[in-house]
A and B are shown apart, each in its own frame.
Chain A
Amino acid sequence: MSRKRTLPDVYRSRKRVCATPANHSSQEALNTNGVDWNDGESSNHIDNSIVPNDTSCALAYLKNLFPVEKFEGRLPPIILQHQLYAIVSNRTLVDQQLMELRNCGKIKLFKLGSEASEFCVLYADDYKSHVRKFIQNMSLNQAVIEKFLTSVVDQCQDISLSKHKLMTELKFKDEEVTQLVKACVLTVRDVGSWWMAFPGAGIFMKSFIRGRKAVLMMIRKCKYKEIIREELKSRKLPRIARLGMEYHIHDLIGADLVECVPTTSGMLLRLQE
């Protein structure tokens, strides 16, 4: 147990690199009964709309990793929330920025399956184009879906919808709701409530679970149940796992299924019991 733990910078014993303006503000902060509030001030001057934040960059990178061509266009690029934790180290920051992006309407979050809390992130535009492509192939009432896309998807940022909201607030009828469930945009959660969903989730989950199992098996077979990241990347996945090794590595690290240990030969991934 190390005796030195990172104390919050209460003693301000380290000299500030910035010039006098910061010093004046820190003196003021000393007089106000609290910790220095001006730490993050310089970053506010950056125009947030131009420079994408950490989470958006990570999302864009992961979107590129997703092999859309392997699924013959049946799936949009899907990113899992915990993959972002593997790239950006501060998890709370990732959560907060995801919240901001959701409120702007740029991305949508979906809850996958019944296991714990696996959320997947889809870009809003990808989601809408995917849904429209899906319903063209099936003989469904397109007007209902369009109404859903404009009223619910654009305005409502929740993961699940209740009967009260759908029927009374948004004026969807029972048959329309059935159509939506048939179109795989809604999944039954409980008696009067539904999860938001996207069509093709099953195909994705099958590939994903198989791939994850295969990668974990690979690590488990290693001596001491650990492997260097570069070596794992060079190994080939079986045909059923179509998502690619990089995608799965990010997933395993973010979900805390493997522990990252920095070594002199690179990053070591050790299986967590």
Chain B
Amino acid sequence: MSLKSIEISCQAFTKLQLHLAKYPHCSVNGLMLACQKKLASEKIVHIVDIIPMFHQCLQLSPMLEIALMHVDSHCDMNNLCIAGYYEAQENLKASTDPTPFSIRVADKIFANCAEAKLVMIDNTQVPTKQSLVLYEKNPDGKWKKCKTDVKLEENCDEILQPLMDRRIYRDLVDFDNHLDDISQHWLNQPINKLIVMS
């Protein structure tokens, strides 16, 4: 059981909420990237970015594998590592217990990062911090709720609300959007810039 702290940057949190807002009627998933150095030296899981992935047929593997390869490559070039996976279900009142598929993906991520977190979204709490329900892998192999607190970077709410009002989520690109039109990139640099400038 880990007592190391978990921090989530404004960019990561905002993009995650934008992804949920873009597809309120679908289940969505995505990857969470952490700073490699901080993880190795200070043992702090600092989620600096998220990559929104799919909003249809989440439970199929080929495109998931392609996405993981692309994101791995991106991480290698930028001193990041895949440290988490989030999944939101379609139904408003869906349970926040990890789904069998989410456990499979999280296990795969855990194989490369021992601090990996599995995040299920509580749809009734969106877009607050309480919507993120974190799980970590116990020594017995099961994913249990994290005991450590999650810290959000300051001013996350103040940055998120104007973006939602301006409907910026319509411009968010997830991996599915990228596969439909490769001129759109899942890194969402334009939105990253907007968040930084806010």
A and B co-occur in one complex? no
Using a CB–CB cutoff of 8 Å, the interface residues on chain B facing chain A are none
- Interface residues of chain A, those whose CB is within 8 Å of chain B, are none
